[in-house]
């Protein structure tokens, strides 16, 4: 292979030195955006300022369960040595080598220059050795590696950076009382993680970071014409974490999107959804579509036998190979050749598709029929709806099946004592080289199942029992009836409008049926609805004008428009964003909206309309249900307390629009009514400036409270932070709340309990022990019951953290949410904190069942989504903006903040 190919059809071009940043791959079917670190290269934060665990919970029924956590045995007498690695292509010193190529170069370094030393490499900048490597000079060494199959010379500079003493781990984990400052083991955990990450590489053809994939476990996603668009591969992920008295390896299954392998020509057919290319050139729109789909693609061109050129896709030419010409030979001769003639005359190759565009590469032009796709390319983009369906189908397994996959995965990853690494380049690397081992069986842990709230309260003081039942597939279900109950606070609906923006999918002759059914549900809920002031059908495509006309018509007859109901085709319709953009940003069309999906309306029943009524009542200012005061910790209920959900979201991969912060905070003592604040900030910055957000939240709370009081206690649930970044928040973000309190009222010092909620974590739980009525502590499929709390055995002894499964797992294996307490001024007992967190999952106003994380976190995520629509125009010219809902307070005194005041919860 060669990085310089002289016999391609060439044309002089400017050299490009920039390159896009690497993005994270798609996992588990979620539309994923990259999650950047707070500060690249930031030092580890000390944990001595973090909240100390006051003890363990005792409430609830005790059961024993299994996990996907395998304890690690460590030789604590070992001292590992960290080496900093800098690697560059000699011909492109400013470019970064891809992970697979960097790993290949480092393995060659170990064999050729380091005497096969036991040194593990993370694929980026760090290597961990089991002892000082004598072949590396004390001041560091520089080595040149020739990768012959690519004709590439790689320069590697490696220097010893630190000694990592494993006795610190033993000292930290043995502190049972946790009353003394505990030493940081971030470096130790990272070192062991790098070692374990290195071990499976030789057995997997595709890997990225700590995820490993095999071709045998894959599914093709095809276009209608039958061409392969993407390949979904199942794999395994491997991570390391503190767990009880030691460290442990966490193994779980994972899924990622890959590019297909084979000819570029076949990939182009799949993208265009055609069986074959017709005579004549492609249209400009077809070329644009191909260019979009091929962005980031790595291509392979065989120059001659034994000589391969690998290069990144740049773009397609507008001209075809038949007409595209370039200077040939001596420029002074003025000779030009077309790409078609070049291959025919100089290569003796007649192109079969001369009317197709060529690949415009820095070194020249290539016809796509002569190019292959490089194998095992992880696809970095948002998954399509079809891909999401396939990903869910591949990754949704009952707990018993998933548990078996994990236990087998330990052997597949090479972490068993009997496992042998067959890769010659890694023959000297094994767990024993580093004094490490992994238990054969996953860890059994204690779990307590918290009691469910007995009832939820509706209007007129009536209550509905919260019941645990089982579905036909033996899944647990926790629900309460809503359709026949009057809302706790029903808001009268006197003025609203309806627009059918999907007449082809949902014809107008069904519209009256929708209005009748919806009004019936709202009547049962106590909302006393009047008929819609305006009913219209979108026929011209001018949605914005139709929206404004409907809202103005309702205002003309009733003086206001409480809500606008819009029917759109389905979830993928761009009409959703258009409706939210107009009704959240245009002062003339400022209005609550409720979107109905035509495909669901076609099969709607009374339950569907009851759920829509729930949302409408919340949005226009009502409250659906509350929990009894006896169900909430007295410490929070008997004093003015504000519950806060805080979330940050980033733009999808490939886009650099600002990140959006959403904050939802309670405004009543029942923690069931919330207001919202949203803010745009610097793109891909995870740290949040709490001060302006909490200034707005505190003023809103004060304006809506009885007696115009400020909260004495604030409980914050923060989302959007990786577990490695959690300690940094205590110093980088949490003090912003204190500053906000001082801004609102000098000398004001509320008690703050601050928790980080992380659902994107790897620990899973399994109820695998059978009892007389199914799994002990679980449902009939092995999922844990709602209210299951784990606060020891797999938690971090240096932190105050716990895992909670608050929802019933209808499909697949339930994923727990990991909560870490950073600050705890309120000093609730652990049982009270766990119980408060669990009960908040029953207060998500749109769903009569407990959800997987606290209601304010769900609201904050919804605010993120809606605020991104709201800020769409701001993102072009500004990097910050704000929207405030549900109150009359100002968000902040910054001119970059914008306010929208809507009664009720527009994000419900």
Q: Please, which pLDDT band fits residue 770 given cuts at 50, 70 and 90?
A: low
Q: Kindly indicate the confidence band of residue 903, based on its pLDDT and cuts at 50, 70 and 90.
A: low
CB distance 363 to 2 below 8 Å:
no
C-alpha separations of 695 from 131, 575, 639, 691 in Å: 53, 34, 20, 6
pLDDT of residue 97: 87
Decide if 618 contacts 905 (C-beta within 8 A). Answer: yes
pLDDT of residue 516: 93
- Listed range (64-68, 410-414, 875-879, 892-896) with the worst mean pLDDT: 892-896
DSSP string across 744-772 = HSTT---EEEEEEEE-S----EE---EET
* Per-residue confidence (pLDDT) for residue 885, from 0 to 100: 57
- Residue 13 pLDDT grade (very low, low, confident, very high; cuts 50, 70, 90): very low
Instruction: Give the burial class of 749: count Cβ atoms within 10 A of its Cβ; 0-12 exposed, 13-18 middle, 19 or more buried.
Output: exposed
**pLDDT value of residue 252:** 94
**Res 318: pLDDT:** 94
**pLDDT of the residue at 26:** 32
Q: What is the pTM of this model?
A: 0.88
29-38, 388-397, 563-572: the lowest-pLDDT one: 29-38
pLDDT at 774: 64
pLDDT in tens, 586-603: 777 788 999 999 989 988
Mean pLDDT, rounded, for 188-194: 93
> Taking all residues of the chain, what is their mean pLDDT, rounded to a whole number?
84
As a whole number, mean pLDDT of residues 171-187 equals 60
- Whose tokens are 């759920």? That residue is 611
More confident residue, 648 or 902: 648
**600, 592, 602: which is closest to 513 by C-alpha?**
602
**Cα distances (Å, whole numbers) of residue 157 to 85, 108, 160:** 6, 14, 10
- Quick one: what percent of the chain has pLDDT higher than 70? 87
Answer whether residue 425 shows pLDDT above 80: no
Question: CA triplet 811, 67, 830: central angle to 5 degrees?
Answer: 95
| Confidence band for 417, pLDDT divided at 50, 70 and 90 | low
Residue 179 has pLDDT above 70, yes or no: no
pLDDT by residue (tens digit) across 807-866?
998 888 999 999 999 999 999 999 999 999 999 999 999 899 999 999 999 999 999 888
Give the integer Cα–Cα distance in Å for 258 and 378.
Answer: 4
Q: What is the pLDDT of residues 614-672, one digit of tens each?
A: 999 999 999 999 999 889 888 888 899 999 999 998 887 667 778 889 999 999 999 99
What is the rounded distance in angstroms from the CA atom of residue 68 to the CA atom of residue 250? 6
- The answer, yes or no, to whether residue 140 has pLDDT greater than 90, is yes
Query: Which pLDDT belongs to residue 871?
Result: 67
For 338-356, write each residue's pLDDT tens digit: 999 999 999 999 999 999 9
- Which pLDDT band, with edges at 50, 70 and 90, does 875 fall under? very low
Helical (H) or strand (E) element with 623: none
Tokens of 84: 């900093």
pLDDT of residue 46: 38
The per-residue pLDDT for 422 is 45
Q: How confident is the model at residue 244 (pLDDT cuts 50, 70, 90)?
A: confident
Domains (ranges, CATH) in the chain?
74-177+190-258+385-420+429-438 (no CATH), 262-373 (2.170.260.10), 496-620 (3.40.50.2300), 631-761+816-875+896-901 (3.30.420.10)
pLDDT band at 891 (very low <50, low <70, confident <90, very high): very low
Instruction: Answer yes or no: is pLDDT of 440 > 50.
Output: yes
């Amino acid at each position: 292979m060669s990085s310089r190919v002289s016999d391609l059809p060439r044309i002089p071009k400017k050299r490009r030195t920039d390159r896009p940043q690497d993005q994270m791959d798609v996992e588990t079917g979620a539309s994923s955006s990259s999650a950047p670190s707070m500060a690249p290269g930031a030092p580890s934060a000390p944990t001595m300022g973090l909240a100390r665990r006051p003890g363990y919970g005792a409430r609830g029924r005790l059961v024993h369960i299994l996990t996907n956590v395998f304890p690690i045995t460590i030789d604590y007498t070992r001292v590992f040595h960290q080496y900093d690695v800098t690697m560059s292509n000699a011909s492109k010193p400013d470019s970064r080598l891809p992970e697979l190529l960097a790993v290949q170069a480092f393995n060659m370094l170990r064999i050729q220059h380091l005497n096969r030393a036991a040194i593990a490499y993370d694929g980026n900048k760090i290597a961990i050795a089991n002892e000082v490597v004598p072949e590396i000079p004390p001041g560091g060494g520089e080595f040149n590696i020739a990768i012959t199959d690519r004709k590439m010379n790689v320069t590697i500079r490696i220097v010893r950076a630190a000694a990592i003493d494993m006795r610190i781990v033993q000292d930290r984990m043995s502190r049972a009382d946790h009353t003394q400052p505990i030493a940081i083991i971030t470096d130790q955990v990272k070192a062991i993680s790098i070692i374990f990450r290195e071990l499976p590489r030789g057995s997997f053809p595709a890997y990225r970071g700590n995820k490993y994939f095999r071709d045998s476990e894959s599914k093709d996603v095809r276009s209608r014409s039958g061409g392969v668009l993407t390949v979904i591969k199942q794999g395994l992920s491997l991570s390391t974490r503190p767990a009880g008295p030691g460290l442990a390896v966490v193994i779980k299954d994972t899924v990622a999107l890959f590019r297909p392998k084979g000819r570029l020509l076949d990939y182009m057919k799949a993208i265009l959804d055609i069986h074959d290319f017709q005579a004549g050139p492609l249209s400009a729109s077809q070329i644009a579509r191909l260019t979009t789909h091929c962005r980031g693609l790595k291509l392979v061109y065989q120059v001659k036998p034994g000589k391969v050129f690998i290069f990144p896709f740049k773009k397609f030419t507008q001209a075809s190979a038949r007409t595209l010409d370039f200077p040939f030979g001596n420029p002074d001769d003025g000779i030009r050749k077309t790409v078609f003639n070049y291959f025919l005359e100089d290569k003796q190759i007649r192109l079969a598709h001369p009317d197709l565009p060529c690949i415009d590469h820095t070194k020249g032009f290539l016809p796509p029929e002569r190019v292959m796709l490089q194998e095992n390319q992880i696809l970095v983009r948002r998954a399509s709806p079809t891909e999401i369906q396939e990903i869910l189908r591949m990754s949704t397994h009952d707990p018993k099946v998933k548990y078996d996959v994990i236990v087998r995965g330990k052997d597949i990853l090479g972490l068993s004592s009997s496992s042998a690494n067959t890769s010659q380049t890694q023959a000297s690397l094994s767990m024993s080289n580093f004094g490490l081992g992994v238990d054969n069986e996953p860890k059994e842990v204690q779990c307590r199942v918290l009691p469910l709230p007995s009832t939820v309260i509706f209007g007129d003081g009536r209550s509905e029992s919260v019941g645990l039942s089982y579905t036909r597939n033996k899944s647990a279900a926790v629900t309460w009836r809503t359709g026949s109950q009057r809302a706790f606070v029903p808001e009268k609906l006197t003025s609203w409008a309806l627009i059918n923006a999907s007449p082809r999918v949902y014809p107008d002759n069904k519209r009256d049926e929708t209005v009748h059914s919806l009004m019936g549900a709202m009547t049962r809920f106590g909302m006393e609805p009047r008929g819609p002031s305006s009913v219209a059908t979108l026929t011209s495509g001018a949605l914005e004008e139709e929206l404004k006309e409907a809202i103005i018509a309702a205002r003309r007859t009733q003086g206001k428009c409480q809500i606008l109901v819009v029917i759109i085709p389905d979830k993928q319709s761009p009409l959703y964003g258009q409706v939210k953009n107009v009704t959240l940003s245009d002062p003339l069309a400022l209005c609550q909206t409720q979107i109905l999906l035509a495909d669901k309306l076609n099969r709607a029943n009374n339950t569907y309309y009851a759920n829509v009524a729930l949302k409408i009542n919340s949005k226009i200012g009502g409250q659906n249900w509350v929990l009894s005061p006896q169900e909430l910790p007295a410490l929070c209920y008997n004093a003015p307390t504000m519950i806060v959900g805080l979330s940050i979201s980033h733009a999808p991969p490939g886009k650099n629009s600002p990140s959006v912060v959403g904050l939802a905070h309670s405004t009543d003592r029942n923690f069931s009514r919330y207001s919202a604040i949203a803010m745009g900030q610097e793109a891909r910055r995870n740290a949040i400036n709490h001060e302006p957000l909490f200034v707005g939240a505190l003023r809103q709370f004060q304006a809506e409270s009885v007696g115009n009081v400020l909260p004495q206690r604030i409980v914050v649930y923060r989302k959007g932070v990786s577990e490695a970044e959690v300690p940094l928040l205590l110093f980088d973000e949490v003090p912003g709340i204190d500053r906000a309190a001082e801004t609102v009222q000098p000398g004001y010092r509320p008690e703050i309990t601050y928790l980080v909620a992380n659902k994107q974590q790897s620990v899973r739980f399994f109820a695998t022990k059978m009892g007389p009525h199914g799994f002990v502590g679980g449902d009939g499929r092995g999922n844990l019951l709602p209210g299951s709390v784990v606060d020891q055995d797999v938690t971090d002894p240096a932190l105050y953290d716990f895992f909670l499964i608050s929802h019933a797992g209808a499909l697949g294996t339930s994923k727990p949410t990991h909560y870490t307490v950073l600050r705890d001024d309120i000093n609730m007992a652990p049982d009270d904190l766990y119980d408060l967190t669990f009960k908040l999952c029953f207060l998500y106003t749109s769903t009569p069942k407990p959800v997987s994380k606290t209601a304010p976190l769900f609201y904050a995520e919804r605010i993120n989504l809606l605020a991104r629509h709201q800020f769409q125009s701001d993102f072009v010219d500004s990097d910050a903006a704000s929207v405030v809902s549900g109150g009359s307070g100002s968000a902040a005194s910054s001119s970059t903040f914008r306010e929208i005041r809507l009664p009720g919860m527009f994000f419900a």
